[in-house]
Amino acid sequence: MDNYKTLTIDQIQQGLRSSSFSAKELAQEALRVSEAENGQYGAFLHFCPERAIAAAERVDADLAAGKELGPLAGVPVAVKDVIMTEGERTTCASRILENYVAHYNATAVERLEEAGGVIFGKTNCDEFAMGSSNENSAFGPVRNPAAPDRVPGGSSGGSAAAVAGGFAPVSLGSDTGGSIRQPASFCGVVGVKPTYGRVSRYGLVAFASSLDNIGPFGRTVKDTATVLDVIAGHDANDSTSADVEVADYSGALGGDVKGLKIGVPKEYFAEGLDAEVRARIESGLKLLESQGCEIVEISLPHTEYAVATYYLICTAEASANLARYDGVRYTRRFDDPETLDEMYAKTRGDGFGAEVTRRIILGTYVLSAGYYDAYYRKAQKVRALIAADFKKAFQTVDAIVTPVSPFPAFKLGAKVSDPLDMYLSDIYTLTSSLAGNTGISVPCGKTSEGLPIGLQILADHFNEATMLKLGDAFERAGGFEIA
């Protein structure tokens, strides 16, 4: 199976139907390749061979019986290790959960497997999904397959690297402030953040509950659309799940995009944007214009407040969500405490890494008496202003196009000592996260050093179909290979 690393979902389905390979052979190849090469990149924390082979054998049995195959039949899938997989370790890349085995499946995992997907491994990530470089994992960093001395982005760096390295055709990640789109940009793959509430969060270990999303990575826009077709939709187990009709995302692809009006926010092309990134994005905009899109300048005036607003809201929610990890119920408990307070202190002090600790402390501070109104409440008001900026913009444009990050993938260790510089990695993705809009990162050429650059397409709430159609048109027009 020499071409495993380049297979798309359509090619896998065709190969199964033509008996070029079986689902079991495909699963075995996914495990073989990934286990052999994972030491170079650290993309996976652990593998699920028994689960994968059993799922593949079910697909082969259905095929032999003449049953209709699901849209992901036989497709190897990697899943970020903050998403529950029953019977498998779900560590959140943290020492405090290093031996935790999930007792149930996340809704997204359940839907993947019902569609025939073959989950074969859990991917590395920043601890509890807190980070922009995947250097915060308790079990070691992930290296970018496009440049192994560089970060893959975070927090879903392992899921992006799994696709970029050819280990999985598609993967699942989570995006709170850019944690799918930014790694997709750094690694040169496609990554989708759905509208908040479009994909169930049931079984996603909570970081910031009003911001967290599950979404797919893939080699093509069509592959991510196919996965989104499967995992999207209302779920009664998630009170924030939106009971809104799901479009046929795969069916929306193809055709031209003539007449679509594309907004370009001037605030995203100001000081701090790398010159090569700017050049590739501008070339991408010209390509979209050549496809019949109308390019118009817009303003998102509250963009400058996004970083401060996000890091007040997300840390406050993290402080509340991570309070449950105290050594009492299911976390690792550190040895021989003499008092209950000492058990709490040792468990949390030794179990959480530096970045998670930093965010818990900051979040606890902004929620404390005397500071709540000055910080957290004010941040929520600014969040409403940022959302209003997008609402106003989408009254006049069909989509918004921006860079994903101000710069390409940086070297491992380059920003770990400067948290603010690290946080600025996500300055162009935070705004849409705060507003709850959907967004996609698609490859848009490379720098002179060969580092991938991502182009971000944003669309209004529950308008993934337009966003995916535009991304697919960009891909078909050669946008991924812009020079």
Q: What length is written for the chain?
A: 483
Question: Residue 94 catalytic?
Answer: no
Which helix or strand (DSSP H or E) is residue 477 part of?
none
**DSSP summary character for residue 78:** E
Q: How far apart are CA 21 and CA 5, in angstroms?
A: 14
Question: Residue 179 catalytic?
Answer: yes
Terminal-residue alpha carbon distance, the chain: 31
Indicate which residue of 22, 179, 200, 405 is catalytic: 179
Answer whether 23's CB lies under 8 Å from 56's CB. Answer: yes
Which helix or strand (DSSP H or E) is residue 297 part of?
strand 294-298
Closest CA to 351 of 175, 10, 91: 91
Sign of the dihedral through C-alpha 126, 131, 132, 138: negative
Sign of the dihedral through C-alpha 326, 139, 179, 83: negative
Kindly compute the dihedral angle of the four CA atoms of residues 308, 313, 316, 321, in this order, to the nearest 10 degrees.
-140
Answer whether 285's CB lies under 8 Å from 264's CB. Answer: yes
Indicate which residue of 24, 80, 122, 469 is catalytic: 80
Indicate which residue of 22, 94, 155, 250 is catalytic: 155
Answer whether 196's CB lies under 8 Å from 211's CB. Answer: yes
Closest CA to 409 of 37, 224, 142, 147: 147
The full DSSP string for 164-213 is: HTTS-SEEEEEESSSTTHHHHHHHTSEEEEPPTTTB--TTBPPSSTTT-E
- The region that residue 478 occupies, defined by phi over 0 for left and psi between -120 and 50 for alpha, beta otherwise, is left
Question: Residue 80 catalytic?
Answer: yes
**What residues are labeled active site?**
80, 155, 179
